[in-house]
A and B are shown apart, each in its own frame.
Chain A
Amino acid sequence: MPGLRLTLQAVPPERVDLSPLTPDRIAGRSRAEVAALPLASGNRSLRVDAVFKLAGDPGPELVIEGDGSRLDRIGEAMTQGSIRLRGNAGAWLGVGMCGGTIEVEGSAGAYAGSGMQGGLLHVHQHAGDFLAAAAPGDHQGMRGGVLVVSGNAGARAGDRMRRGTLIIDGDVGDCCASRMVAGTIAVGGAVGRNAGLAMRRGTLLLRRPPAALLPTFNDCGVQVVPILRLLARAWRGLPGPFASLSAGDLRARRSMGDLANGGRGEILILLPD
């Protein structure tokens, strides 16, 4: 066992801020020291061993077991190592993450990957609203790294996203890529209403045509899009179907918008080979 394993004793009655527990922050500490670290929960402070059973010793890998739906800020600003959740994650998963990997076998709450700058974040099931979005008051959402959601995501995915890659294999809610500044979002399933609302630049790649596009998106016709070949190559090895995107010439229907906000963003709807 290369790292520490935390097993949730019971679902906590209030939300718990787990940001102190990242592999880089607990590196070099003993298990007993980690057990005594304080975790904020509501207006109280809890010891780690009051919430979890601990096994193994701190190392590059951290495993969290149990239903973590109330565990917030997992992997905040982590720079290296890996966190594996054998269950769900709460809100603000991987917020401001700079490097390393986080893998969630269940689902994640709101604001997963907000302000993320680097590393790989993979949610096996679903993600909540504001995936990779800007925190209230912030000017930028996701700023780098790769975020893959194998299931569905909620509304406002990629809000104010600035750089990096966001892949959602399932469906995504309303206002996907709203206020997007740059970067790439790929959606395998259906998209909700108002995709690309107030989008400035960036790419929203869809496998399925949406029910309707905003009237402020301008249809530029079907084109061979060379950048998709490079994307396909870059995505090899990632989890999910986008990893096996054809490396040949891909054709897509390209719409530019949001014309109400500069209109330099694009929505690409992939056509069958």
Chain B
Amino acid sequence: MLLRLKGGRCYDPAHGVDGVVRDLFVRDGVIIEPPPPGTRIEREIDLSGRVVMAGAIDMHTHIGGGKLNIARAMLPEDHRADPVAATAITRPSAGRAAPGTLATGYRYAEMGYTACFEPAILPVNARQAHMEMGDTPIVDKGGYVMLGSDDFLLRLLAAGAEQQLINDYVAWILNATHCIGIKVVNPGGISAFKFNQRRMDLDEQHPRYGVTPRDILRVLSRAVHELGVPHPLHVHSSNLGLPGNVDTTLGTIQASEGLPIHLTHIQFHSYGTEGDRKFSSAAARIAEAINATPNATCDVGQVLFGQTVTASGDSMAQHRNSGLANPGKFVIMDIECDAGCGVLPFKYRDQNFVNALQWAIGLEIFLLVQDPWRVFLTTDHPNGAPFTSYPHLIRLLMDRSFRKDRLAAINPAAQALTTLGTLDREYTLYEIAILTRAAPARLLGIASLGHLGPGAAADITVYRDDADRERMFAAPEYVFKDGELVVEQGRIVKLTWGRYHAVRPDYDRGIERRLREYCERYLTIRADHLRITEEEMHAFGHGAAVVPHPCRARS
């Protein structure tokens, strides 16, 4: 079937298209070149006056895995307060901070998002995470698999293993878990926590293995680079949330030694120690470093006020913050001796000095990082705020007077310590399209997403232009997924299941014997069972395909 989307104002930064009125043609779920005149067009939708972008991509959102299920179990009040009613084609679900899989998919699609990437999949939990993600309707899915505090890797490093062996391990893990990137969380710190360490700096030796977080970062970023995995090492740095952690973050950028590195939820890593309360914004230093380091990218992890839940693999940071849980309940746990997990509900308040400054720091980073291709729009859902607040965040970025009004309402001591009031930058629709579409697709190495050129998957979001950007981005008029109209006037009209995105780098099979012996001896699960088959993935994802994206090995 040939579908023509007529006369919409297109924003397609991947092709430098900035608000040009043009027709889009879709056949078999793919955007195609305009067909020759006279070709029969089966369906035509008039989009004159509408804003057209590719489907949005959330490149860092916690939508699956054990910690989310803990959060769901821990927050029945979140589900009670926010039910999602069934319709003729959708099923009931619930939740805002820790939504059920169905609510997650429906609400992302209703906001015009068509792809979501879960950033913390532990190899041993990958099956569970993929089951949850597979049950998340409409959107495409992918995950970053978490290494860096696992005993196997730390043993290799402690024994001074060659880089090639580490590369084989990383590649084996990516293949076994069907993930698209490697994430490292508080490198070595989650493991050190279990040896009674409560803080770990970048150059501090692990009490058992003797390696430092810097070693782990260097080796893993090199592995990712040499394997040719498109997505750079996805780094949650050490010392999350601590005043003064800006130095650690700047050191982390250096630790990749010029190789690509992605710093995630960087807002939580941009704190100084100035002022009476020894807590201040270091956003300017961070932005300066990002601007000066072309191999570094970051997503912000913006804090927005209200109730949410923080769910992180960084059990060290979560343990430190456990006294701040609101309501007062939390879980800190070890997972299979390979990583950890901490879940605690949190309420960000605009009259709280620290929370208000966190809000301002995130916005400062958005406004001070000059290259929109290297800063990504996230709230680290649900850690900074639930993903449903993205339209509000977009308005804060696009509407200076709205932002200044909000700034005037926060804690006065925090206002005094932020330069936000002097930043007049307003994001344009073109830049928003970069942040939420073109740049994430490019950073993930997915050629078919994030743009409107021929060959792209026909994931298309159509907005009614509205000066109130929050209203505009909250309820797109149409959302197409693979050429099918899935959302019309903010309501789901068709249910699809999306697909998985993964990478399959090559490796030397010799690593398998070593892993088999290791798993047999130390883990609760055998190496052959860690590996998830494609048949399983199809079953988890309602028949969804796993799309492998090319890796270009370098050595």
Contacts and interface: CB of A to CB of B under 8 A. Distances in A.
Nearest to B76: A137
B327 interface: yes
A135 B85 contact: no
Interface string A13-54: 000000000000000000000000000100101000000000
Contacts of B329: 139
Interface in A161-205: none
Contacts of A40: 85
Contact of A43 (B76, B77, B80, B92): B92
A273 interface: no
B328 interface: yes
Interface residues on A, range: under 10
Nearest to B73: A137
B327 A139 contact: yes
A43 B327 CA distance: 30
B134 to A, nearest CB: 24
Contact of B328 (A43, A45, A139): A139
Contacts of B74: 137
B75 interface: yes
Nearest to A17: B83
B80 A135 contact: yes
A136 interface: yes
Interface string B316-351: 000000000001110000000000000000000000
Contacts of A135: 76-77, 80
A45 B85 contact: yes
B187 to A, nearest CB: 35
Contacts of A137: 74-77, 80
A136 B74 CA distance: 10
A139 B74 CA distance: 12
Q: Is the interface of B mostly helix, strand, loop or mixed?
A: loop
Contacts of B80: 135, 137
Interface in B518-532: none
Contact of A136 (B76, B86, B92, B328): B76
A138 B345 CA distance: 13
Contacts of A43: 85-86, 92
Contacts of B77: 135, 137-138
Contacts of A139: 327-329
B88 to A, nearest CB: 11
Interface string A120-138: 0000000000000001111
B331 to A, nearest CB: 13
B97 to A, nearest CB: 13
A133 B327 CA distance: 17
Contacts of B75: 137
Nearest to B79: A137
Contacts of B85: 40, 43, 45
Contacts of B86: 43
Contacts of A45: 85
Interface string B86-101: 1000001000000000
B344 to A, nearest CB: 14
Nearest to B74: A137
B95 to A, nearest CB: 12
A45 B92 CA distance: 13
Contacts of B76: 135-137
Nearest to B329: A139
Interface of A: 40, 43, 45, 135-139
Given A135-B76, A137-B77, A139-B329, 15 more contacts: A40-B85, A43-B85, A43-B86, A43-B92, A45-B85, A135-B77, A135-B80, A136-B76, A137-B74, A137-B75, A137-B76, A137-B80, A138-B77, A139-B327, A139-B328
- By Cβ-Cβ distance, the 4 closest A-B pairs, closest first, are A137-B76, A43-B86, A137-B77, A136-B76
18 contacts: A40-B85, A43-B85, A43-B86, A43-B92, A45-B85, A135-B76, A135-B77, A135-B80, A136-B76, A137-B74, A137-B75, A137-B76, A137-B77, A137-B80, A138-B77, A139-B327, A139-B328, A139-B329
